[in-house]
Structure 1
Amino acid sequence: MGLVFVGIVMGLFGTAAMDLWALLLARVAGQGLPNWGNVGRWVGHLPRGTVFHDSIAEAEPVPGEVGIGWAFHYAVGIVYGVIFAVLAGGDWLAHPAFLPLWIFALVTIAAGWFLLHPGMGLGRALSKTDNPWKGRIMGLIAHTVFGIGMWLPVVALF
């Protein structure tokens, strides 16, 4: 199995695990689901040269923004999976320890905290939200679930 293929599978499974986690939280704890339309709007404004918005909700809508947001979400997960698989290499694949993957999954939250969130007007690491620490902790848990989701198919399939 090629490392890129394994990374794609890891990214897909990890991202799907995050989505299932979000659905569980919505049903059990009443937590709102991620708004991938806002992410799609942000992505849609990037080619126009706008990275940072005061409020993405007030930015001009982009046609197909919900689909763009979902596609971006999965594309990023796949890219992270491939990056990890290539960096970790065949030795890790032969003996897939969870700890390095978990650390990697936690580090990936930096892109959200320092690019996506400020880009959408939420501040660095959600600093402009009503409860930034709740969002940060929930993000770290979600990225832990992402790591578990990336690790399980390697243990089960490869």
Structure 2
Amino acid sequence: MTVEMIVQVALLGLGATLVMDLWALLRRRVFGIASLDYALVGRWLGHMRHGQFSHAAIGKAPPVAGERALGWAFHYLIGMFFAGAFVLLAASQWLQQPTPLPALLFGGLTVAAPLLLMQPGFGMGIAAARTANPRQVRLRALVTHLVFGMGLYLTGLLLTLY
């Protein structure tokens, strides 16, 4: 992988994650739907260094110093990691001629991360099974990750201009 491609992948991941965050902001402002508090992601990660990978309820776990910054940084690093995985799967030619379908399909696949890793670690159960409305949580997660996929496509298009 060339330095230029690494930069493109990093920008692709940053852009797609930003699109996902803009969707969350729009959803909150227009529909009043709260988005994930990334401080809780940082709290979850902070407790991992002490060997605690899951919680009964992450919101009740003791706070960790710098948890908000840690959570947000991890969120964008994961976006860049997912972009790298996408480019490896879709082939680097996708960067020269982005198409929406592979990006959307990959975005849909990335929903496995919160459903199978993060939600159980937060105490929500696999695929939010322990929440009041698991189907709603799953659907919102899927839509958000499809938006990430659309962000891959839109950012890919933008990168072809430069």
Same structural fold, with TM-score higher than 0.5 when normalized by the shorter chain: yes
- The equivalences for 1:1-158 within 5 A come to 2-158=4-160
Amino acid in structure 2 at the alignment position of 1:139: A
**CA RMSD after TM alignment:** 1.3
Return the alpha-carbon distance in structure 2 between the equivalents of residues 30 and 54 of structure 1: 27
Return the alpha-carbon distance in structure 2 between the equivalents of residues 151 and 5 of structure 1: 16
Amino acid in structure 1 at the alignment position of 2:124: L
Structure 1 residue 131: Cα displacement = 0.8
Structure 1 residue 3: Cα displacement = 2.8
| TM-score (structure 2 length as normaliser) | 0.92
| TM-score (structure 1 length as normaliser) | 0.94
Return the alpha-carbon distance in structure 2 between the equivalents of residues 153 and 112 of structure 1: 23
Q: How many percent of aligned residue pairs carry the same amino acid?
A: 41
1:52/1:119 contact within 8 Å kept:
yes
Amino acid in structure 1 at the alignment position of 2:47: H
Q: Which runs of 5+ in 1 are unaligned?
A: none
Q: Which runs of 5+ in 2 are unaligned?
A: none
Return the alpha-carbon distance in structure 2 between the equivalents of residues 130 and 90 of structure 1: 42
* CA deviation vs aligned residue, 1:84-108 (integer Å, no higher than 9, x gap): 1233223222332211111111111
1:6/1:82 contact within 8 Å kept:
no
2:8/2:159 contact within 8 Å kept:
no
**Higher relative contact order, structure no. (Cα contacts within 8 Å, ≥ 6 residues apart):** 1
Name the count of aligned residue pairs: 158
Partner secondary structure for residue 155 of structure 1: helix
Partner secondary structure for residue 130 of structure 1: coil
